[in-house]
Every structure is written in structure tokens, then in C-alpha cells.
């Protein structure tokens, strides 16, 4: 972690980008998350739940939060670690879900990386 110099004002773009990275980056490394994630994958039988709804058998890849995580709920385990808020999906379904998440300036992917929109 770098020391912050209050005299230096980075562009807003970078501030938001770094904030987003920090808030989710640590979360996705916690034992509590890994355990919730494993539970979700096991419940889904390691198959994409969205594809299965359509009768397709496809291996899932990403545990998605139905209520998307952001700065306001990242500290709320009822959202972040609640298996009812999780669903195991494949890469394609995950991209489709997040397609709808327009209007934001960035989004946080399930692996904790941030994509600037
Ligand atoms: Zn799928
Ligand atoms: Zn997601």
C-alpha cells in the first residue's frame, strides 16, 4: 500500500478505480468468501445454474452475487456471504447478467478485478 500524500490530487478516475479495487480485492481473498463460494458451487453441482434453467448442461465458472456488490454493501455479510444471494454461472451467462448493469462508471468482476466502463 502506498502512502497517500494529501497534496497530490489524482484524477477522479484513478481514485474511483483504486477504491473499487480495494473494496472488493480484499473481500475475494477472505476465507469466509471462499467457503460461501464453495458452498454455492457444490449446491449447483458445479454446473451453470442459468444454463441448467434452460436445460443446458454446462460447467460453471463464476460465483455471481445476485445483488451486485458495491461500496455500500461490501461489509454486509447478509449480502456478500449469503448463499441465497449467490449463483454459480458460466462465463457467458455471467457476462449477460452484467450486460444489464449499465450506467455505472466501473464494475467489479467476481474475481475482484475492476473493469472501467
Ligand atoms: Zn451459463
Ligand atoms: Zn457477477
d(CA 31, ligand 2 centre) in Å: 19
Contact 62/90 with Cβ under 8 angstroms? yes
pLDDT tens digits, 56-73: 999 999 999 999 888 889
Q: Report d(CA 111, CA 64) in Å as an integer.
A: 10
Residue 5 pLDDT greater than 60, yes or no:
no
d(CA 94, ligand 2 centre) in Å: 6
Question: 14 or 52: whose pLDDT is higher?
Answer: 52
pLDDT tens digits, 33-59: 999 999 999 999 999 999 999 999 999
Per-domain boundaries in the chain: 12-116
d(CA 59, ligand 1 centre) in Å: 8
What are the distances in angstroms from CA 41 to CA 38, 72, 83, 86? 5, 25, 10, 9
Q: Positive or negative CA dihedral for 71, 103, 95, 56?
A: positive
End-to-end CA distance of the chain: give it in Å, rounded. Answer: 25
d(CA 47, ligand 1 centre) in Å: 8
Amino acid at each position: 500500500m502506498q502512502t497517500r500524500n494529501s497534496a497530490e490530487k489524482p484524477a477522479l478516475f484513478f481514485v474511483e478505480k483504486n477504491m473499487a479495487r480495494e473494496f472488493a480485492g480484499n473481500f475475494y481473498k477472505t476465507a469466509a468468501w471462499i467457503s460461501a463460494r464453495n458452498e454455492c458451487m457444490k449446491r449447483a453441482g458445479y454446473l451453470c445454474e442459468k444454463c441448467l434453467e434452460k436445460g443446458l448442461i454446462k460447467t460453471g465458472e463464476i460465483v455471481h452475487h445476485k445483488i451486485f456488490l458495491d461500496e455500500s454493501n461490501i461489509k454486509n455479510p447478509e449480502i456478500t456471504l449469503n448463499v441465497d444471494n449467490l449463483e454459480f454461472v458460466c462465463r457467458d451467462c455471467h457476462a449477460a447478467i452484467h450486460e444489464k448493469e449499465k450506467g455505472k462508471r466501473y464494475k467489479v468482476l467476481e474475481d475482484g478485478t475492476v473493469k472501467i466502463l
